[in-house]
């Protein structure tokens, strides 16, 4: 008889998966709803949050370009593999999933768009070491919270992350999804499975709920209603075989207990006290001096900001080598800011003193002064902040006033995630 081995083999893991409730669900109900032409979809505005090209400095504040990377997508579902390969043509993408139906759709998109830089593999992420490769970027969104042992899943991914690599995760959040879990429990008690009839009962229940039910916070959130038109989204949200959610505190514990370091949120807007509870408000003042984690936890508890947490991780040693973005001294004058890809600033020209410029992104809208709008206009990913200040010559301000304006404006827009900063 052979000795039992400490680690299960790839075959053992895949065999076990055949019986797994999550594997069976994603075989029958692929997620997200398949996109049939990714080039068309991107032209019409489709995007993924963790887009390496758009998010650049959020992942690597010291990199000048974001090409020639080895990318792993762990639990790619239907569309993410093709999207990532298309958006990163000079990088190599390996996409794995336990659902053969999802992989078939990824393969269809690969063939359709001639994506030679994409490899799709039927593989459980617990067995990712069997690829015998390491990666600069690991993307795993909406996957680890479905595992029996999310900690072991994260450890497996950590094992294939290069020393200066970055991992992006999306995990469910507790606050906004509170009502979802109440409904999941009710549907379990009703004995619902994942059949068409069961989906129909969910839909009927959603229309019959009293206005006071906490699920309405979730149903009214951006994109939820559009998503839930699809049966697969009803299954994924309300009839899932296994999912769990994380509070902000649990996110940090999850990361650190599994040997990784928290690099930052994908979008700082949802955790920003100034954006959620505008300045001068009692809440903003009270939490201003707390550390970033506590502030984020408080904002989430008060504002229900997190249906999901999107965040980036790296090895602790790599984090040590990175600059801390900080606007206290004068170091920030060397930062190179660029706008978030979906930031809009509108103002009338020539500047009308009676109508401020308007800054807008996602759910956030804020009036800003014309000199602030000018600062943002010159934040193009090439100029340092010192150079941008040099471009403000036409404005009747002393050097000290300009410095003050820059510090206050860039610190605020960093806090809200509206500008991204590189440090070379």
Ligand X SMILES: C[S@@+](CC[C@H](N)C(=O)[O-])C[C@H]1O[C@@H](n2cnc3c(N)ncnc32)[C@H](O)[C@@H]1O
CB 38 within 8 A of CB 107: no
> Is 237 a residue that touches ligand X (CB under 6 A)?
no
Query: What DSSP designation does 321 have?
Result: T
Query: Are 304 and 176 in contact, with CB atoms under 8 Å apart?
Result: yes
Q: Cβ neighbours of residue 295 under 8 Å, at least 6 residues apart?
A: 271, 273, 287
Which C-beta is closer to ligand X: that of 13 or that of 275? 13
Q: Which two tokens stand for residue 16?
A: 């076990």
Taking alpha carbons only, the member of 311, 18, 268, 267 closest to residue 141 is 311
User: Is 94 a residue that touches ligand X (CB under 6 A)?
Assistant: no
Which helix (H) or strand (E) is 235 found in, with range?
helix 231-238
Q: Does 142 bind ligand X (CB under 6 A)?
A: yes
The smaller minimum CB distance to ligand X, of residues 172 and 318, is found at 172
Residue 185's contacts (CB-CB under 8 Å, 6 or more residues apart) are none
User: How far apart are the C-alpha atoms of 123 and 106, rounded to whole Å?
Assistant: 14
Shortest Å distance, C-beta 55 to ligand X:
15
CB of 139 to ligand X, least distance (A): 7
| 97 lies in the binding site for ligand X (CB under 6 A) | yes
Nearer to ligand X (CB atom), residue 61 or residue 142: 142
Tell whether residue 146 is a contact of ligand X (CB under 6 A).
yes
| Span from 72-80, 171-179, 259-267, 316-324 in contact with ligand X (CB under 6 A) | 72-80
Least distance between ligand X and beta carbon 28 (Å) = 11
Q: Of the listed pieces 60-68, 135-143, 398-406, 409-417, which binds ligand X according to CB under 6 A?
A: 135-143
Q: Is 80 among the residues that bind ligand X (CB under 6 A)?
A: yes
Q: Given candidates 57, 77, 337, 339, which one binds ligand X under the rule CB under 6 A?
A: 77
Note whether 95 and 118 are within 8 A (CB): yes
Residue 138 CA from chain centroid, whole number: 12
Of the residues 99, 237, 372, 412, which one makes contact with ligand X according to CB under 6 A:
99
Scanning 76-84, 257-265, 348-356, 412-420 for contacts with ligand X by CB under 6 A, the matching segment is 76-84
Q: Within its chain, how far is the Cα of 23 from the centroid?
A: 23
3-state SS, residue 223: coil
- Which is nearer to ligand X, 8 or 32 (by Cβ)? 32
* Min dist. Cβ of residue 221 to ligand X (A): 17
The binding track of 31-60 with respect to ligand X, each residue x by CB under 6 A or -, is: xx----------------------------
Q: Which residue is nearest to ligand X (CB)?
A: 77
Peptide bond into 167 cis (omega under 30): no
HEC letters along 244-275: CCECHHHHHHHHHHCCCEEEEECCHHHHCHHH
Site residues, ligand X (CB under 6 A): 22, 26, 31-32, 75-77, 79-80, 96-99, 102, 124-126, 141-143, 146-147, 236
């Amino acid at each position: 008889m052979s000795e039992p081995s400490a680690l299960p083999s790839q075959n053992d893991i895949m065999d076990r998966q055949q019986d797994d409730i999550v594997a069976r669900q994603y075989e029958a109900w692929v997620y997200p709803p398949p996109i049939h032409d990714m080039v068309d979809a991107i032209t019409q505005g489709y995007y993924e949050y963790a887009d390496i090209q758009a998010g650049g400095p959020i992942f690597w504040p010291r990199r000048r370009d974001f090409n020639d990377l080895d990318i792993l997508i762990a639990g790619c579902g239907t569309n993410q593999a093709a999207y990532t390969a298309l958006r990163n043509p000079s990088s190599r993408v390996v996409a794995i999933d336990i659902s053969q139906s999802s992989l078939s759709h990824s393969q269809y998109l690969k063939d359709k768009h001639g994506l030679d830089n994409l490899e799709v593999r039927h593989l459980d992420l617990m067995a990712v070491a069997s690829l015998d490769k390491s990666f600069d970027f690991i993307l795993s969104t909406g996957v680890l919270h479905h595992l029996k042992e999310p900690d072991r899943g994260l450890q497996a991914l950590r094992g294939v992350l290069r020393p200066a690599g970055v991992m992006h995760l999306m995990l469910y959040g507790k606050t906004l999804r509170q009502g979802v879990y109440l409904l999941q429990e009710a549907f379990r008690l009703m004995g619902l499975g994942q059949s068409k009839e069961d989906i129909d009962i969910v839909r009927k229940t959603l229309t019959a709920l009293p206005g006071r039910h906490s699920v309405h916070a979730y149903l009214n959130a951006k994109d939820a209603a559009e998503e839930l038109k699809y049966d697969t989204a009803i299954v994924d949200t309300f009839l899932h075989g296994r999912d769990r959610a994380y509070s902000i505190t649990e996110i940090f514990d999850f990361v650190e207990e599994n040997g990784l370091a928290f690099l930052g949120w994908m979008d700082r807007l949802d955790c920003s006290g100034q954006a959620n509870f505008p300045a001068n408000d009692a809440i903003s003042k009270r939490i201003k001096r707390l550390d970033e984690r506590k502030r984020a936890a408080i904002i989430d508890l008060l504002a229900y900001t997190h249906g999901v947490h999107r965040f980036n991780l790296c090895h602790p040693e790599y984090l040590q080598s990175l600059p801390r973005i900080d606007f206290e001294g004068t170091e920030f004058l060397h930062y190179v800011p660029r706008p978030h890809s979906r930031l809009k600033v509108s103002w009338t020209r020539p500047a009308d003193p009676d109508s401020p410029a308007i800054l807008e992104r996602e759910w956030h809208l804020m009036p800003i002064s014309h000199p602030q709008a000018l600062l943002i206009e010159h934040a193009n990913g090439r100029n340092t902040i010192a150079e941008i200040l040099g471009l403000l010559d036409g404005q009747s301000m002393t050097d000290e006033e300009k410095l003050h304006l820059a510090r206050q404006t860039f610190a605020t827009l960093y806090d809200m995630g509206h500008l991204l900063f590189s440090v070379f």
